[in-house]
Amino acid sequence: MNLLTKIPLLKAQNQIDYSSQLLILGSCFSENIGAKLEYFKFQRLQNPFGILFHPLAIQKLIQKSVHQEVFTEKDVFHVNEQWHSFDAHSVLSNPSKEKIIDDLNEAVQNTSSQLKKASHIIITLGTAWVYRNSASEKVVANCHKVPQANFTKELLNVDDVKESLERTIEMVRSINPAAQFIFTVSPVRHLKDGFVENQLSKSHLISAVHKVLNDGISYFPSYEIMMDELRDYRFYAKDMIHPNEVAVDYIWGKFCEVWIVTNVYPTMKKIEKIQKGILHKPFNEKSEQHQKFLIKLNVLKSEINKEYPDLVF
């Protein structure tokens, strides 16, 4: 691939290996990175409250998890035949009020547990635009298709974002001083806000992150790689907003260069071979050839499990 621009990337300290415990939070692109880490069987908890787009939503999730705050009936509401929480994505919404409350509290407990042992916390920021509920005067994580007349739209300035990130870092460090933070800004463009408004939002996020960088707090330039190295619509999905598979693979490769310890690359190749084998659909499942293939696959699984007993295929 002949690219006009190459963003210089330096190897990070305290890189990720198979002993690392990861917590992945944030915007849509965190799902892409999380899916790659899941595919290669790294230990992680990913978006327990669903996709969260802005820093205040992530801060609130961390606050609830650090202090183990309990969700109750007053924290959910009913609309369009579903129960929702303004603090979570619609992936947790449910027809049962009891079920959504249980799921929200389980997410708090899971996040709390992972925060205490996480070696790396990967946070992807999507937008600096937020919606404030006019009735409660609280910023929401998701509007859940409640009529827009019930909200006011605001743009967080650089200091707002910076202060939110600092509070998030401080809360995590209060229970896990050794945790490494990896911030990135999502390359997914929020064009519903407008082209100019999207760029303004991303610039606020990038500026704020760079104000909090310090020991144990790093920035991975996924947004810049998409904008400056993959600067062509052929790297976008059909909606012309989300990075396509080629772009995700390219950015993942750059992430590995910086953050994945090189001595686990051979294991990752073996795991990829197993994953492709699991997805393989034979013409005849009972054929001798396929049975030999399954035996080889199980041998490869056993080899990996001897070194990494916690890996589950």
Examine the domain organization and report whether 64 and 174 are in the same domain: yes
- List, as one string, the DSSP characters of 183-203: EEE-----GGG-HHHHHHHHH
**Predicted TM-score of the model (pTM):** 0.93
Examine the domain organization and report whether 220 and 305 are in the same domain: no
283 has pLDDT over 50 = yes
Domain boundary among 218, 243, 260: 260
CATH of the domain at 89: 3.40.50.1110
Q: Which residue has the tokens 């049962």?
A: 96
Token output for 165? 């990130």
pLDDT one-digit tens code per residue, 9-60: 888 889 999 999 999 999 988 889 999 999 999 999 999 999 999 999 999 9
Specify the DSSP class assigned to residue 308. Answer: -
For residue 177, is it within any domain?
yes
Question: pLDDT category, 288, cuts 50, 70, 90?
Answer: confident
pLDDT one-digit tens code per residue, 72-126: 999 999 999 999 999 999 999 999 999 999 999 999 999 999 999 999 999 999 9
Examine the domain organization and report whether 111 and 184 are in the same domain: yes
Examine the domain organization and report whether 230 and 285 are in the same domain: no
- The 3-state DSSP composition of the chain as helix, strand, coil percent (nearest 5) reads 50, 15, 35
In terms of pLDDT, which residue wins out, 146 or 231?
A: 146
Examine the domain organization and report whether 236 and 285 are in the same domain: no
Examine the domain organization and report whether 181 and 279 are in the same domain: no
Domain boundary among 242, 260, 278: 260
Examine the domain organization and report whether 216 and 242 are in the same domain: yes
CB atoms within 10 A of CB 52: 27
* Lowest-confidence segment of 195-204, 268-277, 280-289 by average pLDDT: 280-289
For residue 217, is it within any domain?
yes
- The mean per-residue pLDDT over the stretch 223-245 comes to 93
CA 280/CA 302 separation, integer angstroms: 19
Tell me the residue range of the domain where 303 lies.
263-313
For residue 276, is it within any domain?
yes
For residue 14, is it within any domain?
no
- The mean per-residue pLDDT over the stretch 198-211 comes to 98
5 has pLDDT over 70 = no
Q: What is the pLDDT of residue 284?
A: 82
Examine the domain organization and report whether 162 and 198 are in the same domain: yes
4 has pLDDT over 80 = no
Task: Give 88-93's long-range contacts (Cβ < 8 A, gap of 24+).
Answer: 88/49, 88/50, 88/141, 88/142, 89/47, 89/49, 89/50, 89/51, 89/52, 89/141, 89/142, 90/50, 90/142, 90/144, 91/50, 91/51, 92/49, 92/50, 93/144
Examine the domain organization and report whether 195 and 269 are in the same domain: no
Please give the helix or strand (H or E) that residue 217 lies within, else none: strand 217-219
286 has pLDDT over 70 = yes
For residue 111, is it within any domain?
yes
- The mean per-residue pLDDT over the stretch 124-135 comes to 97
Domain count, the chain: 2
For residue 133, is it within any domain?
yes
219 has pLDDT over 60 = yes
Q: Are 117 and 176 in contact (CB under 8 A)?
A: yes
Q: What is the pLDDT of residue 1?
A: 46
Examine the domain organization and report whether 181 and 42 are in the same domain: yes
pLDDT one-digit tens code per residue, 143-193: 999 999 999 999 999 999 999 999 999 999 999 999 999 999 999 999 999
For residue 11, is it within any domain?
no
Q: Which residues pair with 21 in a beta bridge?
A: 43
Examine the domain organization and report whether 98 and 116 are in the same domain: yes
Pick from 152, 116, 120: nearest CA to 25: 120
For residue 6, is it within any domain?
no
Examine the domain organization and report whether 152 and 275 are in the same domain: no
Domain boundary among 225, 242, 260: 260
Q: Which amino acid is at 183?
A: F
